[in-house]
Amino acid sequence: MRMGLKTTLVAAVTFLALTIWSRMFNYIHGSTPQQNLERANEVLMDTRDDWQIPHNFTREMLNATSIGDKWDILASYLENKQVWCPRQKRFGHEGDGGKDICVAHPFNLVHRQCTVYSFGIGDDFSFDDEIAKTCEVFSYDPTTKMKDHTRGQHVHFYNTGVKGVQSRLSKKYKMKTVLEIFQENKHLHTIIDVFKIDVEGSEWGVIKEMHKSGVLSQIKQISMEVHFSNKYEEYYQILQLLEEAGFQLFQSEPNLLTELLSKTTGRKEKFKIHLAAAVGNVTAKVSERRNSAASVEKLLAAEMIDRKVAVGNVTGELV
């Protein structure tokens, strides 16, 4: 096996959303949505020199018989970058806590016109504080002793956790779903420029809940640290939900700051996968994306994905 079997692993993932911006491109440039999607894809892809031929990972996963083989397939999938981002910027510390964010057009962060959510803070506000110099940031973590407060002018902290399907922390902490949080903050009609999540293994249930509620369609970019046990096939299926919602991987790297003991090999393993993902099937249409989230209309009284939203001047000030 390329990396060896690991029963507990950590990975950080960033995703970008391309599909939901077809109307925005049409409004700004006067081209058809398809022309603009093709142009955006060319911008993100034309500087790549390491493009990999896509594999049929689903078929390989279905045919895999051992846990080791399933891990190898999942690891290969996470290494198979799908889109190239030519301009990235790190927000926060160089080590654990900081995140690399794609800031190439159309993912550039327009000064004071962008919205960021950050789940899982601990004692490290370096990401939140730095990106707050450009965007409005909403930070959540129920495990700290801090009370709800505004940090500076543009970081709004809440002592609340994010829960998903089968959340294991709901009884111990104050927890809400992403849908409930968006409703409270009046962000059901707001484009979320960056969605950062580092919640120590709960991210899988959160993503499933977000897919079910339809809120993934509001998000342009996801930076996610993911943690693995040996449920590799289930994790792969959840990552497929992100693809269905229009997300594609653009970067990954091992987490060398996390040292874990492999119960299978008996060796200490340092492993982190930083995934930067450009989200989405870039040829999809907004209407198709809306129709795929059939549960949204049942959960929300408003039309959350109508896109009657001011997305800002994307040609304005860049970070």
pLDDT, tens only, 30-46? 444 444 444 445 545 44
CA distance 42 to 24: 17
d(CA 145, CA 165): 26
Q: What is the rounded distance in angstroms from the CA atom of residue 242 to the CA atom of residue 207?
A: 8
Using DSSP, state whether 136 is helix, strand or coil.
strand
> Average per-residue pLDDT in the chain?
70
- Please list the residues that pair with 124 across neighbouring strands: none
What is the residue extent of each domain of the chain?
Answer: 9-54+80-227+244-299
Mean pLDDT for back-to-back runs of 10 residues, the chain (319 residues):
46 57 39 47 48 69 87 80 83 82 88 96 92 97 93 95 75 89 95 89 89 91 82 87 82 58 39 39 29 32 28 33
Q: pTM for this structure?
A: 0.71
How many CB atoms neighbour CB 90 within 10 A? 12
Tens digit of each residue's pLDDT (9 = 90 or more) over 15-32: 665 443 433 433 334 444
For residue 264, give every residue at least 6 positions away whose Cβ sits within 8 Å of its Cβ, in sequence order, or none.
5, 6, 7
